[in-house]
Structure formats: C-alpha cells, structure tokens
C-alpha cells in the first residue's frame, strides 16, 4: 500500500473549504481530515488544494501540431508539448478536440486528425503524458468531407465525445455577418475583396452537405456509444433539436434564451473560460459571466487558452453573487467529470482518484504550484 498525505492546506471540497489534510492510498483519496497532522506529510504552506481540472473542449493541440501555415510538427512531439502546457494549468483530464471537415485547403484534414489521434494513443500508452487524454471530435456539418473524415479519425483511436457544429456565416456563433468578417479578416484567411464571394460559398456548402452529414455523424455516435455535444445553439429551437438528437452537453450557447433552455432541459451548459477572463465573447455573443449570474452555467472550458480555467473560476467566485469558490470550482472539476461520465474524479472525496492541484494566490491571480495525478506528482 502506498500512502501520501497532504496537510496544512485550504482543502476545497464540493460544497465548502476547510483547513485540513488529505490522505491518499494507492492513488485514491482515502480520508479528508480537518486540521493539520503531525506525521510525515507534504506541507502545502496554507495554499489551496483542489481537484485536478477536467477540460472537455480544447483546440490547443492543433496549435502545437500546426504552428505555422504549411507546417505539421511531429505528432507525438506536438502531443507532449500540449500535454505539458495543460498539466501546468492544473488540468489532469483533457479532451483533445480534433476536427472532421475542411472548409479551406489550409485546414487540418482527416489525415492530420488521424495522425494526432494515433499520437495521443501512442504517447499515453507509453506513459509519457502527465494528464489523461481523451479524444473529442469536432464535426463541421457544412463540409463535404466531414462524415468520411469522422470515420477515418475514429479508426485511429477511441472517440469519447463528438460535437456537432456549423460555422456558416449568419448562423449560430456567427449570426452577425460583421463578426464573421472581422474574425476571418483578422486572421488573414480571406482577402477583403473576396469576402462576399466566400460567404456565399460557405452558405452554399451548408445547403448541400449539412443535413446528410448530421445524419451520418449521429449514426456514428450511436454506433460507438459516444456522448454528443451541440455547438453554438442560438435559439430554443436549436436546443430542442439538440435534445432530439441525443445531445447531453450544450457547448457555447450564444444567447440567454439558448443557455436558459439548455439548462432547463438538463443539458450541461458549457462556456469558455477566456470569455470570463476577457469579460466578453470574441464573437459578440452572450458573456459567460452573464450565463453564470443567471444560474445557467454548468461547465467552463479553456477552449483556446489552457491557463484560463483557474483565473476564470476565481473571477466568478469574486464577482457572481452567491457563487463562492467551492461552487465555482465545480465548473472545472466535478461538473465536467460528471458530464463526461467520469464519476471516479472531480472532487476531493474518499474513493475518488487522487488528482490534486496545489494553488497559491498572488493577489487575485491563482498560480499552480504542483500537480498530482493518481497521487503521483506530474508537475
């Protein structure tokens, strides 16, 4: 039996914070004790001890694999670099978002998704990764190759979550055509003189491919027994459609109406932590802080900035009336674990995995000092 003890900590439990001690045995939490202990233990100097963070939607792996236009980094190396960054942010469970569907020749194709999926499996099987990684497949319905790409990526490694998305200009995330133009012009994907033609082309793609792709993706999810997420729901009708499709997670609803309907119907409402840190959506949609203040927020995702989770949670704990730190931390620990069906982690409670993070506050900024997965230090 391997026992490790963590003492002199502000232990964040699901509903309260205590000054206490956590005892782990064989990689699991054995006991939570109020106060300090005098036996040999890790002294946390009064810092917070929180559960390891659970991240359901991050696009960040693709940044390491595709760091410059036309550059594909060795996939295992990209996975390990991404893994180190998420672990440094306190994330011990991560769902890496890979894409199915290409809008443009510069997009990552199914070949790249398959390579990254295989690399995740290889690195994890060899014990090289600090966090535990799962595969989240983002399916762009308007693209001609989406269904075929999804099948190809699914052959490279087990899928655990599929999200259905549609980034057509004038729909969902980009209901504002001006915001669509701002986004694509800002990233220099399209030249200004070609923008109107590009918008027309994207809308035509949606009309040709979205419906049949959606049916094939739903069939794939059912065949594999994979959880489904909707993406950028904007109306109550979108939410009703998602429920009929078997969706259980509503990612980044764009309006108060959609967030309220999703929460009311038992979907886990997921919003972006960068939205909280920045104080607004980069697409001009509803702010995550407003969704939280309305009582409709269930999960935060780091989306494109792994280090955004903890600052977002501490911000919400300070600024949303009745939230408090224990409840806010559930947005990035217990709630996403439950939404993903991972009920063996996400809280400092007996019999759960000893995925733990030591956090020190520097003013209002939370700093990750040490990270343990299954009670073994990984950062």
Asked if 34 and 115 sit in the same domain, the reply is: no
Stated as kind and residue range, the H or E segment containing 263 is helix 256-264
Asked if 286 and 172 sit in the same domain, the reply is: yes
pLDDT of residue 184: 65
Asked if 68 and 43 sit in the same domain, the reply is: no
Contact 124, 80 (CB under 8 A): no
Asked if 171 and 227 sit in the same domain, the reply is: yes
Helices first, then strands: H and E counts in the chain: 13, 16
Contact 27, 19 (CB under 8 A): no
- For each of the chain's 379 residues, which pLDDT tens digit applies? 799 999 999 999 999 999 999 999 999 999 999 999 988 899 999 999 999 999 999 989 989 998 887 888 999 999 999 999 999 999 999 999 999 988 776 666 778 889 999 999 999 999 999 999 999 999 999 989 999 999 989 988 889 999 999 877 766 666 666 667 666 666 656 777 777 777 777 788 887 898 999 999 999 999 999 999 999 999 999 999 999 999 999 999 999 999 999 999 999 999 999 999 998 776 668 999 999 999 999 999 999 999 999 999 999 999 999 999 999 999 999 999 999 999 999 999 999 999 999 999 999 999 999 999 999 999 9
Structural domain total, the chain: 2
Q: Please list the residues that pair with 137 across neighbouring strands.
A: 98, 162
Domain that holds residue 360: 1-51+347-379
Distance CA 288, CA 256 (A): 10
Asked if 239 and 360 sit in the same domain, the reply is: no
Asked if 379 and 243 sit in the same domain, the reply is: no
Asked if 79 and 34 sit in the same domain, the reply is: no
Q: How many CB atoms lie within 10 A of CB 158?
A: 11
Asked if 23 and 61 sit in the same domain, the reply is: no
CATH of the domain at 31: 2.30.40.10
With 0-12 / 13-18 / 19 or more C-beta atoms within 10 angstroms meaning exposed / middle / buried, residue 289 is: buried
Contact 376, 27 (CB under 8 A): yes
Asked if 40 and 105 sit in the same domain, the reply is: no
Asked if 195 and 336 sit in the same domain, the reply is: yes
CATH of the domain at 95: 3.20.20.140
Asked if 88 and 137 sit in the same domain, the reply is: yes
Asked if 236 and 370 sit in the same domain, the reply is: no
Distance CA 150, CA 99 (A): 8
């Amino acid at each position: 039996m391997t026992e490790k003890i963590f003492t002199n900590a502000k232990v964040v439990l699901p509903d309260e914070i205590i000054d206490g001690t956590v005892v782990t045995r064989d990689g699991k939490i054995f006991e939570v004790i109020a106060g300090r202990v005098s036996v040999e233990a890790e002294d946390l100097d009064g810092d917070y001890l929180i559960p390891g963070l659970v991240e359901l939607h991050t696009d960040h792996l693709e940044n390491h694999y595709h760091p410059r236009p036309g550059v594909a980094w060795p996939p295992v190396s990209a996975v390990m670099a991404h893994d180190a960054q998420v672990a440094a942010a306190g994330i011990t469970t991560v769902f890496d978002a890979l894409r199915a569907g290409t809008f443009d020749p510069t997009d990552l194709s199914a070949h790249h998704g398959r390579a990254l999926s295989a690399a995740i499996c290889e690195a994890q099987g060899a014990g090289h990764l600090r966090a535990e990684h799962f595969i989240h497949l983002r399916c762009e319905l308007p693209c001609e190759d989406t269904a075929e790409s999804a099948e190809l990526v699914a052959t490279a490694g087990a899928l655990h979550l599929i999200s259905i998305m549609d980034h057509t200009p004038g729909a969902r995330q980009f209901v504002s055509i001006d915001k669509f133009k701002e986004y694509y012009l800002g990233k220099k994907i399209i030249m200004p003189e070609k923008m109107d033609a590009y918008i027309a082309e994207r809308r035509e793609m949606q009309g040709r491919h979205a419906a049949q792709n959606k049916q094939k993706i739903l069939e794939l999810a059912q065949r594999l027994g994979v959880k489904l997420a909707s993406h950028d729901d904007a109306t109550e009708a979108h939410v009703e459609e998602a429920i009929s499709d078997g969706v259980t997670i509503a990612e980044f609803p764009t309006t108060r109406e959609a967030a309220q309907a999703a929460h009311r119907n038992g979907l886990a409402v997921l919003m972006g932590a960068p939205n909280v840190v920045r104080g607004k959506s980069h697409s001009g949609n509803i702010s995550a802080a407003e969704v939280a203040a309305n009582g409709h927020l269930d999960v935060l995702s780091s989306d494109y900035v792994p280090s955004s989770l903890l600052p977002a949670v501490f911000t919400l704990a300070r600024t949303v009336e009745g939230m408090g730190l224990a409840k806010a931390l559930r947005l990035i620990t217990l709630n996403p674990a439950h939404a993903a069906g991972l009920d063996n982690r996400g809280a400092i409670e007996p019999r759960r995995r000893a995925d733990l993070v030591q956090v020190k506050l520097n003013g209002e900024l939370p700093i990750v000092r040490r990270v343990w997965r299954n009670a073994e230090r990984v950062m």
